[in-house]
A and B are shown apart, each in its own frame.
Chain A
C-alpha cells in the first residue's frame, strides 16, 4: 500500500513539475488582460470568439492573429466556444457584460438571430469596398462577411462513374446505401442539406427526404465522423463542401474525390464577423475587422478554412481548380430560417425516425 501511494505521489509530482515547466516556458498571452490598470505600458488586448476549427493549429486563427499582432501593437486573445451556434449562444448570454470584442463565425443561418438579440454594433468598414457586393448579406452592416462556401456532395470517382447531377438524382436506386450525411440537429453541413432541400423544393421538402431515405447509409452526428467514414471507403458519396477535393489535391496529390456540381444550384454558406455591442476596445476591434477583410488575411482563408475569400481579386491556390464554384446559389432568407427552424427540424426528425 505504501509503495502504491508513494508511486502515485511520485508520478503526479513529476507530471506537475512538467506542467509547471511547460507553463513557465510559454507565457500565456491572456496575462495582459488580467490587469487592466497596468495596461498603460502594455499593448492592448482584444478578445475574439470563434468556432473551434477556426482557432485550431490548422485553421486561419493562428495565421491571422500573428499577422495582425505584427502589423499593429495589439494583442489578440482567440477563444473558442465550440461550434458557431455555441459561439452565438455564449455571446447572447454575455450581452450585458460582454467579454468578447469581436465574434467570428456568424453564418447566414444565425444572422437574423444575432441581429435580433442585438449582439453586434454596425461597422461600415473601408475594407468593404473590395468585397463582392452580392456577398454582403447583412445590409445593416452589423455582421460583415469574411468567407463563403457551398455545401456539396463529394464522390469517390473510382467507385462512382456516373455522379449525381441533382438532389433528385441522389434518390436514384443506383445510390442505395451509398450516401453519408450528417444530422441537421448536431452539424452545420447537416443543417445545410436540410435548408438546401427547402430552398430547392419549398414546402415539398418532406417528400424529398422520404424518397432520399433508401440512399442513406448512415447519418452521423458531426461532419468529421461522416467524412472519416467516407475516406475509409464506407460509402462513395458524402455531404461536405465544394472545396473538399482541393484538400486532397493540395496535400494528398489525388483527384479521386470530386465535387458533384448540380445545375439547379447549391446552398450557400456565408460566414461573417462583427464587433460586439458594448466593447471597450472599439478602435482596436475596427482595426481587426479591417485586417480580417484585408488582402493578407483573406489570402490565408482558402488553405486554412477551406472556404472562398470574399475580397475580389485574391489569387486562389492551384488546388482550388478542383473546388468548382456552382453557377447557381440557393439561399433562404435569414429571418425565415430563425422563424421556421424548429418546425423544419421537427418535421425532418419525424420523417427520418419513421
Chain B
C-alpha cells in the first residue's frame, strides 16, 4: 500500500480528529481569538462601522514601504550572517567527536535564554567603544582612540542578530545532518569529485530542508526584533515595522492604525512563510533518505586546526559578551582610583543579605516562578505540537500547507499585538488570578512553532517510512504513535523542549505586558534592577540565569547522548 492511498483512506479517521483536537482548540483559544480581536480593529472606523481606510492610509504612505523594506533587508542579511556562522559549526558538531563538544553545544544555546536587554548590554561591555576588546587593544598598542568601532551602525545590528540566532542554525542543521545518509557522498568521492564539489552538489541540496527551516525561523526573529535594532543601530535611522507598531499601539493609543501596520507586517512575513513551507515540502519529497545515524569520529590533524579556528570565532561571539557579563557581576567599581575590586556583594544582595538598596528577597521567588512557568509551558507544548504535527502530516498537501502557515504565524506576529490581544481577553474573563494563566498561554503560543519546527521534518519521514507497515500489521493508530513514532521522535522532542524552555525562561516583552507586577520572572527582575541603577546586580542575576540554563542544557545533552 503506498503512502498516498493510505493517507487518503485514513483522512477522515476518528483518531485524527481526536488526536488533533486538543492542539486546534489550544491554538484557537490562545492565538487566533486574541490576535484576531486586535487585528479586526484595522477595519474599524472611529464610529464603529467597517472601513478599509486605515489599511489604505498605511499602504499609501511611502514611509510604511521604506521601513518595510528596511525591516526585510536587515532580517535577510542577518539570516545570511547567522547561517554563514552556523553552517561550519553544524558540520563540526555532526561529524566529529572532540573534547568540549558538549560544552560547546550547551553554550551555543545560551544567547537564546537571555532577555534582549542583557544581550545588548553584554555586547556593549565587550564590543563597545570603551568595552573589553577596545580597552585591551588600546593598552596593547598604546592607542588613544578605540580602534574597533562596531557598534551603533547597521553592522552591529547584523552582528548582534547573528550572535543571537546562529545557534538556531547550528542545532537544527546539525541534528538533520547527523541523520543524513552518506552513501551518496561516498559514491561521489569514489567517482573522483573534490570534497568541496561533493558538498556543493550532493550534500548542500539535501541539507536544504534544515537550512530553510532554520533560515525562516531566524528571519522571523530578526523581522520582529526590537531593542537590538534601536540601541545598537543608533536610533530611529533604523526603524522597523515592530517599532512602528509599538509606537502606534502603546504611545499613541492608535489601535486601528497599529492593527493595520500589524496586518501589513503579517502579509510580508506570511509571504516568507509560504515560500519556505513550499520549498521545504519540495525538498523533503526529493530526498527521503533520513534515519541514518552518522557516527562522529575524532578529527584529523588538519581538521583540528579548522575546528579550533571556528571555535575561536564562535567563542568570541558567544562567550565573550556573556563572559563579560559574568565578570562584571563579580566586580564593584572603586571610583576614587578609577579601578574595580572583586566582590560577592551583588550576589549577597540577590539572596537578601545586607540591607543596601537592591537587596531584596524576590530573586529566589523570581527564579522559582520562571522555572515553573517554563516547565508548565514545555509540558503543554510537547503534546500540543505532537497533536498538531499529526494533523499536518496526515492532511492533504494543500490543506497541510495552509495549516502549517497558520501554525507558524505566532512567530510572525508582533509581541505588542499578542500582548494587546491578551489584555482584551483578560478584561473579558473576570477571574482574579488569571495573570499566571495568561503568561503561560502567551509563552505556549510563542514557543509552539519552535517545537513544531523541531519535530516536523523527522515526524514526516517516520510517518512515511514506518506507519503504513505498522498499520498493515494490525496496530491501531494510537498504538503506532506510542510504540513507533514517539520513540523515534524522542531526539527531536528533546531538542525542541530545550528551545521551548529556554525561550520561555528568557521571554520579556509579552511577560512584561501581562504581568501587572504580580508575576515577577527573572527577566522582569533583571529589567527592574537596571531600572533601579543596579547594573551590577542585573549582571549577577543574568549570570545566575545563564548558570541555571547551562546546567539544564548539560543535563539534556547528556540524557540525549545516553539514549543513543
Contacts and interface: CB of A to CB of B under 8 A. Distances in A.
Interface of A: 1, 3-4, 7-8, 11-12, 15-16, 18-19, 22, 28, 30, 33-34, 52-53, 55-59, 78-82, 85-86, 89-90, 92-94, 158, 183, 185-186, 216-225, 227-229, 231-235, 244, 247-248, 251-254, 256, 303, 341-342, 345, 349-350, 352-354
Given A217-B152, A228-B530, A352-B236, 19 more contacts: A3-B559, A4-B493, A12-B379, A15-B372, A33-B432, A34-B432, A52-B517, A56-B528, A58-B532, A78-B517, A79-B517, A81-B516, A86-B250, A185-B243, A218-B231, A221-B226, A227-B533, A229-B121, A353-B237
Please give me the 10 A-B residue pairs with the lowest Cβ-Cβ distance, nearest first. A80-B517, A219-B235, A254-B335, A233-B130, A57-B360, A1-B490, A12-B375, A58-B532, A224-B530, A221-B230
A333 B497 CA distance: 54
B227 interface: yes
Contacts of B534: 58
Interface in B42-77: 63
Contacts of A244: 533
Contacts of B181: none
Contacts of B251: 85, 185-186, 345
Contacts of B124: 228-229, 232, 234
Contacts of A349: 236, 239
A185 B247 contact: yes
B129 A234 contact: yes
A232 B125 contact: yes
A24 to B, nearest CB: 13
Given A15-B371, A218-B234, A221-B230, A234 B335 contact: no
A331 to B, nearest CB: 21
B438 to A, nearest CB: 14
B369 interface: yes
A34 B433 CA distance: 9
Interface string B125-162: 10011110000000000000000000110000000000
B234 A217 contact: yes
Interface in B542-564: 559-560, 562-563
A228 B432 contact: no
A195 B233 CA distance: 24
B497 A8 contact: yes
B252 interface: yes
B557 to A, nearest CB: 12
A46 B235 CA distance: 41
B199 interface: no
Contacts of A233: 128, 130
Given A55-B517, A81-B516, A186-B246, A8 B378 contact: yes
B365 interface: yes
Contact of B518 (A79, A85, A228): A79
Q: Which residue of B233, B360, B427, B518 has the most chain A CB atoms within 10 A of its CB atom?
A: B518
B356 A94 contact: no
A81 B335 CA distance: 37
Given A19-B372, A231-B535, A233-B130, A221 B152 contact: no
A244 to B, nearest CB: 8
B130 A224 contact: no
A353 B236 contact: yes
B143 to A, nearest CB: 16
B494 interface: yes
10 contacts: A4-B560, A16-B372, A19-B368, A94-B427, A228-B124, A228-B530, A232-B130, A247-B533, A345-B251, A353-B236
A215 to B, nearest CB: 12
B535 A82 contact: no
Contacts of B369: 19
A7 B227 contact: no
B311 interface: no
A19 B338 CA distance: 44
Interface string B421-440: 00100010000110000000
B21 interface: no
A292 B563 CA distance: 61
Interface in B481-523: 486-487, 490, 493-494, 497, 512-513, 515-518
B362 interface: yes
Interface core residue of B338, B486, B533, B534 (most chain A CB under 10 Å):
B533
B500 to A, nearest CB: 11
Contacts of A85: 250-251
Contacts of A341: 252
A1 B235 contact: no
Nearest to B153: A218
B372 A342 contact: no
A107 to B, nearest CB: 14
A11 B151 CA distance: 41
A218 B432 CA distance: 42
- From DSSP, what is the main secondary structure of chain B's interface residues? helix
Contacts of B338: 158
B253 interface: yes
Nearest to A93: B427
Contacts of A82: 512-513
A73 to B, nearest CB: 22
Contacts of B532: 53, 56, 58-59
A58 B151 CA distance: 32
Contacts of B232: 218
B528 A53 contact: yes
B263 interface: no
Contact of A1 (B117, B487, B497, B531): B487
B264 interface: no
A15 B375 contact: yes
Interface in B381-433: 423, 427, 432-433
A7 to B, nearest CB: 6
Contacts of B530: 224-225, 227-228
A19 B232 CA distance: 38
B518 A1 contact: no
Contact of B368 (A22, A89, A231, A303): A22
A31 to B, nearest CB: 8
A217 B129 CA distance: 10
Interface string B236-250: 110100010011001
Contact of B253 (A30, A89, A221, A248): A89
Nearest to A34: B432
B517 A57 contact: no
A250 to B, nearest CB: 8
A4 B236 contact: no
Contacts of B372: 15-16, 18-19
Nearest to B535: A228
Contact of A225 (B227, B368, B528): B227
A17 to B, nearest CB: 10
A248 B336 CA distance: 13
Interface in B449-474: none
Contacts of A217: 129, 152, 234
A179 to B, nearest CB: 11
A340 B363 CA distance: 43
B531 A229 contact: no
Nearest to B120: A225
A1 B517 contact: no
Nearest to A250: B357
Given A56-B528, A58-B532, A229 B227 contact: no
Contacts of B121: 225, 228-229, 232
Nearest to A113: B253
B296 interface: no
